[in-house]
Chain A
Amino acid sequence: MKGRPVLGVISGLLFGLFMAAVLQQFSLWPLDNLTVIGLPIAGAALGLVMAAWAPFGRKPTVTIDDDKAGLPPS
């Protein structure tokens, strides 16, 4: 795992809790078990996935050595 799992889990838990509060404040969903417990768990899982997929969105860099590739010098 190349990312930051501890940061991901902690900020994911907080993200879930704050999202529960946002949904409640905007009258979309009350503070029930699903949001108060479920969203922080889902947030922690998301943080863990982000850490597992790190570096997120970066493609591997390929370097070609002209000498070893057998190409004639230009």
Chain B
Amino acid sequence: MSRPRTFIVVALMGCAVLLLALPAGAGVTGPCEGKVTIDGIEYTPANDTRDNPIVVPADREGLRIPYEGAVTVQNTNYLGAVGVVVGPATINVADWGFDENPDDVRSTTPGSFYILGSELNNIVGLYQLTAFHDADGGNCDATAMVKLEGSPLSSMIGLAAVSGAVLSGIGVASAGVKRKT
């Protein structure tokens, strides 16, 4: 490949990267509201950016998480789901309401809470969540950013990521070594 052609290819790749830099989500859209309290800090759908995430502490097993949620429209025959964003895909982690649900319940029971088990013990990092809730009266979409605190180097995923980055970085540098003729 000639040098000008190489730089055209590189420039096109750079444009593709810029096009992928989409703006951050806007919390929640639609007639839904909710909040969750973790370690005494109250979080709302406004916690949807990297700088302002929902923080789950490293010592989280057995953590009691009170939550509240409500919809302001008729909430019959609802269904919804929440998923983790991985690039262009979303991995579904929970869903609700796929059976018939004729009761027009519009808010969670006062005093509702969730106790975290050991399911998140070995998972750290920053995760973008998306959720939706569709009902007869309307629908909502929401995004949130969740930070699971802890040392990345204490998990297999973190160690593999760092090792892989170092090794492949050496590979990139080796591309600049002259070929043997």
Q: Please indicate the chain A residues that have their CB under 8 angstroms from the CB of B147 in the complex.
A: 27
> Which of B39-47, B84-92, B105-113, B134-142 is found at the contact surface with chain A?
B84-92
Q: Is A19 a contact partner of B165 (Cβ separation < 8 A)?
A: yes
Q: Is A51 a contact partner of B175 (Cβ separation < 8 A)?
A: yes
Task: Tell me whether A3 and B14 are in contact in the complex, defined as CB-CB below 8 angstroms, given that A21-B164, A33-B88 are known contacts.
Answer: no
Using a CB-CB cutoff of 8 Å, which residues 36-71 of chain A contact chain B? 36-38, 41-58
Interface size on B, residues (CB 8 A): 49
* In the complex, per-residue mask of B1-19: 1 if CB is within 8 Å of any chain A CB, else 0: 1010011011001101100
Q: Is A15 a contact partner of B178 (Cβ separation < 8 A)?
A: no
Task: Tell me whether A50 and B125 are in contact in the complex, defined as CB-CB below 8 angstroms, given that A1-B1, A29-B50 are known contacts.
Answer: no
Q: Does any Cβ of A come within 8 Å of B62's Cβ?
A: no
Q: Give Cα A50–Cα B173 distance, bound, in whole angstroms.
A: 7
Q: Give Cα A12–Cα B53 distance, bound, in whole angstroms.
A: 30
Q: Is A15 a contact partner of B168 (Cβ separation < 8 A)?
A: yes
- Write the nearest CB–CB distance from B90 to chain A, whole angstroms: 11
Q: Is B177 a contact partner of A24 (Cβ separation < 8 A)?
A: no
Task: Tell me whether A8 and B175 are in contact in the complex, defined as CB-CB below 8 angstroms, given that A24-B125, A31-B86, A45-B10 are known contacts.
Answer: yes
Q: Is A38 a contact partner of B20 (Cβ separation < 8 A)?
A: yes
Q: Is A31 a contact partner of B168 (Cβ separation < 8 A)?
A: no
Closest chain A residue, CB of each to CB of B19: A38
Q: Is B171 a contact partner of A10 (Cβ separation < 8 A)?
A: yes
* In the complex, per-residue mask of B89-105: 1 if CB is within 8 Å of any chain A CB, else 0: 00000000000000000
Q: Is B172 a contact partner of A8 (Cβ separation < 8 A)?
A: yes
Question: Knowing that A31-B128, A54-B176 are A-B contacts, what are 5 other residue pairs whose CB atoms are under 8 Å apart, sorted by A's residue number?
Answer: A25-B125, A25-B155, A34-B20, A54-B175, A58-B178
The 10 closest A-B pairs by CB, nearest first: A11-B171, A36-B87, A8-B175, A56-B176, A21-B161, A18-B164, A25-B152, A18-B165, A15-B168, A14-B168
Residues on A facing B (Cβ under 8 Å): 1-5, 7-8, 10-12, 14-15, 17-19, 21-22, 24-38, 41-58
